[in-house]
Amino acid sequence: MKCLICQAASKTGQAAQDWTEVDCPAGCGRYKVSANLVARMKFRNECFDIERTRQWLEMSRNDDPVPLISTYDYNVSLLRCDTEEKSVTAPIRSRQSLTSD
């Protein structure tokens, strides 16, 4: 599996019905990501801002050694782009979540 943040080769850890754990040796470390967020990102061809996400993970590890990235966290802090081509011409979208994690 590829890291959902930086796309480096990574290992998948525990998986539950509503989240997956990822262990990225390239700098992102261990984290969980909600299944709703993964599905939404794939459907919309969205991606994380690598540096902001890594910073968010480091801060979040103060409370939880394996933080969970939810749709809310992504909408508020971590969205980078739809795609490189679309990011130049895409209209600004609401950051309000359509589903809850």
Cα-to-chain-centroid distance, residue 57: 10
Q: SS3 of 46, please?
A: coil
Domain residue ranges in the chain: 11-83
Query: In sequence order, what are the residues at sequence separation of 6 or more whose Cβ sits closer than 8 angstroms to the Cβ of residue 26?
Result: 3, 6, 8, 9, 10
Question: Which tokens sit at 25?
Answer: 């040796």
CA distance 81 to 70: 17
What pTM value is reported for the model? 0.73
Each residue's pLDDT, cut to its tens digit, for the chain (101 residues) gives 899 999 999 998 777 789 999 999 999 999 999 999 999 999 999 889 999 999 999 999 999 999 999 998 888 877 665 444 443 334 344 444 444 44
